[in-house]
Amino acid sequence: MTVFRLNELTTRQVDALDRDATVLLVPLGSVEQHGWHMPLGTDTILADAVSVASCERACAGAFVLPAPWFGYSPHHMGFAGTVTLRAETFMSLVTDVVGSLVAHGFRRIVLVNGHGGNAALVGVLSSTLGHAHRGRARIAGLTYFQLAANEIARLRKSAPGGMGHAGEFETAMMQHLRPELVGDEAETVYPETGSRHLSTDLLAGNRVSTFLDFADLSASGTLGDPSLADPQAGAAYFAACADALAGFIDEFITWPVNGEQLE
């Protein structure tokens, strides 16, 4: 069986990897409430699973780092069990992980985010780390469900707002991957943000940023419609996300790292 998890290799096996022909993925998620029906670790579980599946599908050599469980989740602190890092802690953590990999000569590193609350920080990290390691390594950051947004939009059943947090998409993904962790107390909530400029839908692509405390939007913490989720749809979403990330890995392996421009 092929191993795709870097932490399951020995140091000698890692040392034997071709630095220029290997992509390393760093999954990023969160420990935060996911409604009444799903576990706190949902985002990290999904980002890790999509990352491993994309390594299996990619033609290029790719390996997955162990995901740090915690992310940036102050907007979920109204719910028991949520653990948030401060933004600067999250930035420092990812900076140190990537710095270690670059120190060992790895040149192609992808931050694979699975939590909306991390997305802005992942964007900043792609830029600051890309600048810090310019000429030695190329750093890319993405949110895996945004990478597969077109396929997800084709597969979805819910109206806008139905795929927010612990809604149709995440629930279906977990029903496919970890059905034993999905309960049946799901609540459906199409939240009112009070502005047409602010949607809580995963695929909304808001043009305005502001802090929204999820406790103000939903009693259960769910934003969206988990009742429309089913494991078959979850399998299709999962395949779409893994394929999209594998496609990116196979392109990323061709990107120059020595300061030349992309063509």
Give contact residues for Zn ion (rule: CB under 5 A). 42-43, 170
Measured from the CB atom, is 42 or 218 closer to Zn ion? 42
- Cβ at position 209, least distance to Zn ion in Å: 18
Number of Cβ within a 10 Å radius of residue 263? 6
Measured from the CB atom, is 42 or 113 closer to Zn ion? 42
Measured from the CB atom, is 42 or 200 closer to Zn ion? 42
- Cβ at position 181, least distance to Zn ion in Å: 13
Contact 78, 215 (CB under 8 A): yes
Measured from the CB atom, is 6 or 43 closer to Zn ion? 43
- Cβ at position 165, least distance to Zn ion in Å: 6
Measured from the CB atom, is 6 or 234 closer to Zn ion? 234
- Cβ at position 68, least distance to Zn ion in Å: 16
3-class secondary-structure state, position 188: coil
User: Which structure tokens are listed for 104?
Assistant: 């060992």
Number of helices followed by number of strands (H, E) in the chain:
9, 6
- Cβ at position 88, least distance to Zn ion in Å: 22
What DSSP element (H or E) covers 164? Answer: strand 163-165
67 burial class (0-12, 13-18, 19+ CB within 10 angstroms)?
A: buried
Q: Which residues pair with 200 in a beta bridge?
A: none
